[in-house]
Structure 1
């Protein structure tokens, strides 16, 4: 048992009246102890549950991310031969269960347009056990789970797209996954994962989905503490970075070297004749079939969702001057077969370790 960790646990677990928040340094130390298993299973479970009830503060979340930076995998992104900064797409690790995700199509569209993309996640995960990104990619013929970190770096450099796979690339964090099932709730790690960047540089663009409005303010404060000035927050489908078609998308844009840097943006799908019901996720097999149709500019209504998201991200990442142009280019990239060619390029990569 770690006596130091016990003190951290006592500090946050003493109740409403006497409990205290951890400092950034204490949160980083506590997270390192969990990742390195210096804390006991009982201590780790108690910490994650108490922190879930208490809710993390921005300094605590920044400290937890500091520990991830210290112990986790890091991609070299400063000297890549691309015209745009790397975009890191943060999406819930426990996947999707109700609505069809198009995050993989968005990533392919961006990479086709010259915007390098980094994604990250693991396998089916508590408490939701939804469809994870890694399974979707495997269904499309790309198995990121077999890549070493060196190969993941090479794939990013060659194709403009890669994936950090938790079980293989960050085993210390992956060994904390079973606690999610044991405590029956999403721990603060689930919030951390939405804004984590497995890149060495801070000269990147981080996109984070969220569900509850207070989370957005937490993200903003944490990014500020950590020196990230280029980020996007999206109240997306099931907390992902996928835009909904059934409602107005609530989006936060933070841009470096602009005053004021923060802008609230409301995106109405009806303004572009793309409003409708969100596409239902029925099964992984059906989704893969729909995505394969999208790659040849067929398979409505998923095609409309893919164009809507692709258009927004092409604009947001600086490829297009406005949303309307972005939508036109997203459709053109799909109908021309260039996005399908990008998928084939990634599939043809040498995946031998």
Structure 2
């Protein structure tokens, strides 16, 4: 198997132990990622490297190199006037997806606000990745059509090399660097991107990782660490070189949600989307308002909400 010996040097760099481990340089991670994607290393070697690299903790420089390698193999198809909604690849277990409702929300918005530049929502999907046992965007889209404003792209079509690692990643059963970098791969060449975060210390890292591929990146603390919100939360953007945190409260927009979800099935989520009540529709509208703000279509969240209503 070609390059097999070279790949072993990458494993040793991250898997020797605290005293022996070292950060890999840009070219090393770039090469290691290509060998993984092209299956120039064995599954055992790939698994060993991904786990050891995660335990060592990936540096921002390493992750940027990984993204560059992924970009080099990615098929791009530009979608103008768009924001990439960077849903997590490990899906949902406790809260419903809302995005199929965004189509009608946007249609109604633009009927009343023709002065606002068009905005398309781009959503990527693939088979579910570790570590949850729920369902993902791809599962939801099977029950809904692509529409005027909502665009779905399947990773098997634009980066099959990463998609084909799914079975190995599921066998490992652990989060790896790919869970991070795949949040905002940008095959649509969208100007704007948004991804979710669980823990605040990762905010700056995510923005640094992805900002080279977008005009503006937003990080938001959403449901299950994803990008949709159903309660008070925060988001972060870089403004004039500094990370700025902004908070919002649903009650300020007249939204009072009574619902709580401890777990949810795919069938239950689809039923919610096909028979949405007022609370769910208001949440969908509020999330669209956020994305209009993140895409610089409006100056404030208040403006987006007022125009929408």
Give TM-score scaled by structure 1 length: 0.77
Deviation for aligned residue 1:254: 2.9
- The 5-angstrom pairing of residues 97-176 of structure 1 reads 97-106=93-102, 109-110=105-106, 113=110, 114-142=118-146, 159-176=148-165
Q: 1:311 aligns with which of 278, 281, 289?
A: 289
Once residues 138 and 14 of structure 1 are traced to their aligned partners in structure 2, the CA distance between those partners, rounded to angstroms, is: 44
1:210 aligned onto 2:206 = no
- Partners of 2:307 and 2:159 lie apart in 1 by 36
Alpha-carbon separation, structure 1, partners of 2:227 and 2:88: 9
Question: What are the equivalent positions in structure 2 for 1:12-31 lying under 5 Å apart?
Answer: 12-31=14-33
- Cα distance in 2 for residues equivalent to 1:55 and 1:8: 14
**SS of residue paired to 1:139:** coil
Q: Does residue 3 of the first structure (1) align with residue 23 of the second (2)?
A: no
**Post-superposition CA distance 1:306-343 (Å, at most 9, x none):** 1221222223323334323322444x5xxxxxxxxxxx
The verdict on how the C-alpha distance between 1:161 and 1:304 changes in structure 2, with shifts beyond 3 A counting, is closer
Query: Are the aligned partners of 1:125 and 1:177 in contact in 2 as well (CA < 8 Å)?
Result: yes
Question: Is 2:237 the partner of 1:268?
Answer: no
Q: State the partner residue of 2:235.
A: 251
Instruction: Compute the displacement of 1:275 (Å).
Output: 4.3
Moved more, 308-317 or 29-38: 308-317
Measured against aligned partners, the alpha-carbon deviations of 1:56-87 in whole angstroms (never above 9, x if no partner) come to 1111110111011101221224xx4xxxx421
* 8 Å contact from structure 1 (residues 28, 63) kept in 2: yes
1:270 to 1:238, Cα distance in 2 relative to 1, 3 A: same
Calculate the TM-score normalised by the size of structure 2.
0.87
Of 170, 178, 187, the match for 2:176:
187
What is the SS of the residue equivalent to 1:126?
coil
Does residue 1:230 correspond to 2:230, yes or no?
no
Superposed CA RMSD = 2.4
In the other structure, the counterpart of 1:96 is: 92
Whole-angstrom distance in 2 between the partners of 1:109 and 1:28: 41
Q: 1:264/1:107 Cα in 2 relative to 1: closer, same or farther (>3 Å)?
A: farther
Structure 1 unpaired stretches of 5+: 143-154, 333-353
**Residue 220 of structure 1, CA deviation:** 2.2
Moved more, 31-40 or 125-134: 125-134
Secondary structure at the aligned position of 1:301 is classed as helix
Partner Cα distance (2:55, 2:76) in 1 = 31
Within 2, Cα distance between the matches of 1:312 and 1:65?
26
- The range that moved more, 63-72 or 310-319, is 310-319
Q: Would you say how many aligned residue pairs link Structure 1 and Structure 2?
A: 298
Change (3 A) 1:274 1:262: same
* Cα drift, residue 115 of structure 1: 0.4
